[in-house]
């Protein structure tokens, strides 16, 4: 299983700054290793951010996104005690889900 998704939420008034770091190699399938063999494609295809179990963000990625992608968003209505859940699925079927309680 992949490394933990790092989720940070900073609430200022009615607006929260969200930062999400997804640990993933994000291989395009076009790079060669030191032996000249093509490294198989391995990239996040879909990800979602849920706020108290309800969809907040639903996204699709492709091979053009760099290793360990970092996403930053602003959202309204998030407050201390709320639950933020982030999950992703990659093109080889691996999945990861993590959540935090907003402080």
Tell me which residue range forms the domain holding 66: 6-101
Look at residue 94 and tell me if it is in a domain. yes
Could you give the number of structural domains in the chain?
1
Look at residue 12 and tell me if it is in a domain. yes
CATH of the domain at 25: 2.60.40.10
HSE at residue 17, side-chain half, CA atoms within 13 A, is 2
- Containing H/E element for 79? none
Look at residue 22 and tell me if it is in a domain. yes
pLDDT (tens digit, 9 = 90+) per residue, 10-46? 999 999 999 999 999 999 999 999 999 999 999 999 9
Query: How many other C-beta atoms can be found within 10 angstroms of the C-beta atom of residue 98?
Result: 17
Look at residue 36 and tell me if it is in a domain. yes
Average pLDDT of the chain is 96
Residues 6+ apart with CB under 8 A from 5: 20, 21, 22, 23, 86, 88, 96, 97, 98
pLDDT at 1 over 90: no
Look at residue 65 and tell me if it is in a domain. yes
Look at residue 25 and tell me if it is in a domain. yes
Look at residue 1 and tell me if it is in a domain. no
């Amino acid at each position: 299983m992949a490394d933990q998704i790092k989720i940070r939420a900073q609430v200022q008034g009615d607006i929260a700054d969200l930062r999400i770091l997804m640990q993933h190699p994000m291989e395009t399938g076009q790079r060669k290793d030191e032996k000249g063999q093509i490294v198989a494609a391995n990239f996040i295809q879909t990800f979602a951010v849920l706020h108290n179990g309800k969809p907040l963000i639903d996204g699709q990625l492709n091979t053009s996104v760099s290793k360990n992608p970092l996403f930053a968003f602003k959202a309204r209505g998030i407050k201390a005690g709320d639950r933020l859940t982030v999950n992703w699925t990659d093109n080889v079927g691996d999945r990861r889900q993590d959540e935090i309680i907003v402080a």
